[in-house]
């Protein structure tokens, strides 16, 4: 088994065994939908409002997992374990980012159908929206893994991660909400600028995957 | 298993960072580490030959653990010269990766994995062949008397049991240098007897042991370094 596969399997195994992140993320998302439903006093959402509610909820739910991403490495010596092994630190970056993408996809498999049930009159825009969300997940995971590592090394870790991460994620939110606005429009999805948003998300993902690859080994240094 | 060990030895020999014949395993000259305004490790000079055992003694806060972390490549020295297994630190510390068996104060074990899963993870990170790793892990667990608890969660084990598993992790990949921070802590006399052969120096294996038990440390050491 490769070091990447071993680290990824470790994270998924621990999550399945302890259920520390995923249930909290799903519960947060569903509770937020309930609050929006009563707070907005609307039984149906479409366009920019629907996309905004969905993307913001998923983003804040993701923060729960990002804050916990390196807790075991910090408290149980996982960073030293990787630094003592004959592997590049970026293997840990790849494994952690992959685990985060998997958590986010599972979250969306639970949360998006519930969102549709609560707010949408048609599910026709959900399939293309899945592609947008997947690309957003990759960007979120790449950026979140880098920032979570920086925050883990700090004493103000719970504050630091959202403070640095949220501004960096603005392009992801703009692209995902922008695409969602047209895909969740009343009267069915509009694919007018779909390609542009895909391109923007793809570009963001590439940049932050490269940034993570380039800096992660240095982040693991003392 | 023999083939795997030979392959590891070949790999080490091919590594430009390997120790040259006759060269010391560890050579430190005025090595110092500061933490802000505080001195963590006062200037230290020592030379350890291949196959020797060095005992590091000193009161709390004298820099024993700091010295071990520097030797493992986990911490940068502030000043001074350090050459470990032919790798000049901190510049060439990547050459040390995979060649050091490090046992720190805190066990490098995930609480929610079993001992066997923890050791399998360490084996995968060190690139051991799965079949070889399974055999070696089974042997080590038997040697330290942990085969019956090998599939329990590590969090459920006592401190002494965790220490035994962490020692297995440190020696799993048969490193040429062992850095051990109080390896006997939490262990009863029977457990100490079991782990002794696993962490012995000799042959090509060099050992640095931090201890508070002065008599025991001096008895098993070729040289003693007093800090503080």
Query: CA-CA distance, B195 to B142, in Å (whole number)?
Result: 11
Find the CB nearest B76 among A10, A84, A222: A222
For residue B12, what pLDDT is reported? 43
For residue B13, what pLDDT is reported? 43
- Average pLDDT for B11-34: 72
Q: Residue B14 pLDDT more than 90?
A: no
- Average pLDDT for B11-20: 50
- pLDDT class for B4, splitting at 50, 70, 90? very low
Q: Residue B103 pLDDT more than 60?
A: yes
Q: Residue A60 pLDDT more than 90?
A: yes
* pLDDT tens digits, A135-175: 999 999 999 999 999 988 887 777 888 899 999 999 999 99
For residue A157, what pLDDT is reported? 76
* pLDDT tens digits, B104-142: 989 999 999 999 999 999 999 999 999 999 999 999 999
Query: CA-CA distance, A52 to A115, in Å (whole number)?
Result: 12
- Average pLDDT for B150-163: 96
- pLDDT class for B16, splitting at 50, 70, 90? very low
**Does residue A20 sit at the B interface (CB-CB below 8 Å)?**
no
| pLDDT: which is higher, B179 or B215 | B179
Return the ∠ at Cα B206 (arms to B187 and B174), rounded to 5°.
75
| pLDDT: which is higher, A155 or A58 | A58
Chain A positions in Cβ-Cβ contact with residue B75 (cut-off 8 Å): 222
Find the CB nearest B72 among A14, A76, A84: A84
Q: Which of A6, A15, A68, A86 to mutate: most B Cβ within 10 Å? A: A86
Contacts for A158 with CB less than 8 Å, ≥ 6 apart: A67, A151
Nearest residue on chain A to B130, judged by CA atoms? A1
Across the interface, whether the CB atoms of B127 and A86 are under 8 A apart is answered yes
Provide ipTM, 2 decimals.
0.89
Q: How far is A68 from chain B, CA to nearest CA, in Å?
A: 15
- pLDDT class for B21, splitting at 50, 70, 90? low
- pLDDT class for B26, splitting at 50, 70, 90? very high
Interface contacts (A, B; CB < 8 Å): 77
Query: CA-CA distance, B97 to A12, in Å (whole number)?
Result: 26
Q: Residue B30 pLDDT more than 70?
A: yes
Find the CB nearest A86 among B98, B113, B120: B98
Across the interface, whether the CB atoms of A80 and B124 are under 8 A apart is answered no
- Average pLDDT for B33-40: 92
For residue B34, what pLDDT is reported? 94
Q: Residue B1 pLDDT more than 60?
A: no
Query: CA-CA distance, B80 to B53, in Å (whole number)?
Result: 22
Across the interface, whether the CB atoms of A6 and B111 are under 8 A apart is answered no
- Average pLDDT for A114-142: 94
- Average pLDDT for B75-82: 94
Q: Residue B5 pLDDT more than 70?
A: no
Domain that holds residue A187: 3-219
Chain B positions in Cβ-Cβ contact with residue A82 (cut-off 8 Å): 125
Find the CB nearest B112 among A7, A18, A86: A18
What domains, with CATH codes, occur in chain B? 2-226 (3.40.50.300)
Q: Peptide bond before B90: cis, by omega within 30 degrees of 0? A: yes
Across the interface, whether the CB atoms of B121 and A10 are under 8 A apart is answered yes
For residue A173, what pLDDT is reported? 96
Contacts for A136 with CB less than 8 Å, ≥ 6 apart: A55, A172, A175, A176, A201
Of the spans A115-124, A135-144, B197-206, B219-228, which averages the highest pLDDT? A135-144
- CA distance to A9, A84, A182, B40, B110, per residue, from A13 (Å): 6, 22, 38, 38, 11
Structure tokens at B118: 């923890």
Find the CB nearest B97 among A7, A17, A84: A84
For residue B140, what pLDDT is reported? 96
- CA distance to A10, A103, A200, A204, per residue, from A135 (Å): 24, 14, 10, 9
Find the CB nearest A72 among B98, B104, B110: B110
Query: Residue B71: how many CB atoms within 10 A of its CB?
Result: 28
The domain total for chain A is 1
* pLDDT tens digits, A171-221: 999 999 999 999 998 888 888 889 999 999 999 999 999 999 999 988 888
* pLDDT tens digits, A4-53: 999 999 999 999 999 999 999 999 999 999 999 999 988 899 899 999 99
- CA distance to A94, A103, A137, per residue, from A171 (Å): 22, 21, 13
- pLDDT class for B102, splitting at 50, 70, 90? very high
Q: What are phi and psi of A187, to 5 degrees?
A: 95, 5
Across the interface, whether the CB atoms of B100 and A84 are under 8 A apart is answered yes
Residue B195 exposed, middle or buried by CB count within 10 Å (0-12, 13-18, 19+): buried
**Does residue A74 sit at the B interface (CB-CB below 8 Å)?**
no
Q: What is the mean pLDDT of chain A?
A: 93
SS (H, E, C) chain A: CCHHHHHHHHHHHHHHHHCCCHHHHHHHHHHHHHHHHHHCCCCCCCHHHHHHHHHHHHHHHHHHHHHHCCHHHHHCCHHHHHHHCCCCCHHHHHHHHHHHHHHHHHHHHHHHHHHHHHHCCCCCCHHHHHHHHHHHHHHHHHHHHHHHHHHHCCCCHHHHHHHHHHHHCHHHHHHHHHHHHHHCCCCCCCCCCHHHHHHHHHHHHHHHHHHHHHHHHHHCCC
For residue B153, what pLDDT is reported? 96
Q: Residue B3 pLDDT more than 70?
A: no
Chain A positions in Cβ-Cβ contact with residue B121 (cut-off 8 Å): 6-7, 10, 81
Chain B positions in Cβ-Cβ contact with residue A17 (cut-off 8 Å): 112
Q: Hey, what's the torsion of the CAs at B36, B38, B41, B42, to 10 degrees?
A: 120
Q: How far is A206 from chain B, CA to nearest CA, in Å?
A: 27
Query: CA-CA distance, B56 to B58, in Å (whole number)?
Result: 7
- The crossing angle, in degrees rounded to 10, of helices B130-143 and B159-171 is 140
Whether B58 contacts B209, CB under 8 Å: no
Across the interface, whether the CB atoms of A76 and B111 are under 8 A apart is answered yes
For residue B212, what pLDDT is reported? 84
Whether B130 contacts A1, CB under 8 Å: yes
For residue B20, what pLDDT is reported? 60
Q: Residue A118 pLDDT more than 60?
A: yes
Q: Residue B8 pLDDT more than 50?
A: no
């Amino acid at each position: 088994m490769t070091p990447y596969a071993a680290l990824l399997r470790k994270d998924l195994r621990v999550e399945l065994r302890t259920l520390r992140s995923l249930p909290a993320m799903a519960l947060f998302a569903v509770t937020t939908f309930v609050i929006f439903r009563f707070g907005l006093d609307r039984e149906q959402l479409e366009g920019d409002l629907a996309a905004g509610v969905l993307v913001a909820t998923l983003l804040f739910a993701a923060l729960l997992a990002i804050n916990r991403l390196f807790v075991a490495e910090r408290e149980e010596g996982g960073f030293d374990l990787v630094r003592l092994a004959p592997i590049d630190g970026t293997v840990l970056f790849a494994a952690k980012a992959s685990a985060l993408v998997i958590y986010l996809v599972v979250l969306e498999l639970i949360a998006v159908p519930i969102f549709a049930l609560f707010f949408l009159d048609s599910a026709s825009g959900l399939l293309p929206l899945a592609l947008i969300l997947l690309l957003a997940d990759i960007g979120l995971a790449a950026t979140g893994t880098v920032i979570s590592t920086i925050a883990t090394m700090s004493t103000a870790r719970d504050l630091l991660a959202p403070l640095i991460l949220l501004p960096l994620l603005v392009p992801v939110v703009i692209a995902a909400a922008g695409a969602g606005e047209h895909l969740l429009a009343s009267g069915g999805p509009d694919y007018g600028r779909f390609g542009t948003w895909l391109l923007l998300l793809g570009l963001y993902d590439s940049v932050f995957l490269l940034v993570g690859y380039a800096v992660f080994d240095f982040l693991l240094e003392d | 298993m023999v083939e795997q060990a030979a392959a590891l030895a070949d790999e080490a020999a091919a590594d430009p960072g390997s120790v040259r014949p006759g060269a010391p395993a560890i050579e430190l000259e005025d090595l110092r580490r500061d933490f802000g305004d505080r001195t963590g490790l006062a200037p230290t000079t020592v030379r350890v030959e291949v196959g020797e055992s060095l005992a590091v003694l000193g009161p709390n806060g004298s820099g024993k653990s700091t010295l071990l972390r520097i030797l493992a490549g986990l911490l940068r020295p502030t000043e001074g010269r350090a050459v470990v297994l032919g790798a000049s630190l901190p510049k060439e510390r990547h050459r040390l990766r995979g060649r050091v068996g490090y046992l720190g104060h805190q066990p490098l074990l995930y609480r929610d994995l079993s001992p066997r899963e923890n050791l399998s993870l360490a084996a995968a990170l060190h690139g051991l062949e799965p079949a070889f790793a399974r055999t070696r892990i089974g042997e080590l667990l038997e040697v330290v008397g942990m085969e019956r608890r090998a599939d329990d969660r590590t969090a459920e084990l006592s401190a002494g049991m965790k220490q035994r598993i962490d020692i297995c992790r440190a020696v799993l990949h048969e490193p040429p240098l062992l850095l051990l921070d109080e390896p006997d802590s939490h262990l009863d006399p029977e457990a100490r007897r079991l782990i002794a052969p696993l962490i012995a120096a000799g042959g090509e294996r060099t050992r640095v042991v931090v201890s508070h038990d002065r008599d025991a440390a001096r008895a098993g050491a070729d040289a003693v370094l007093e800090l503080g």
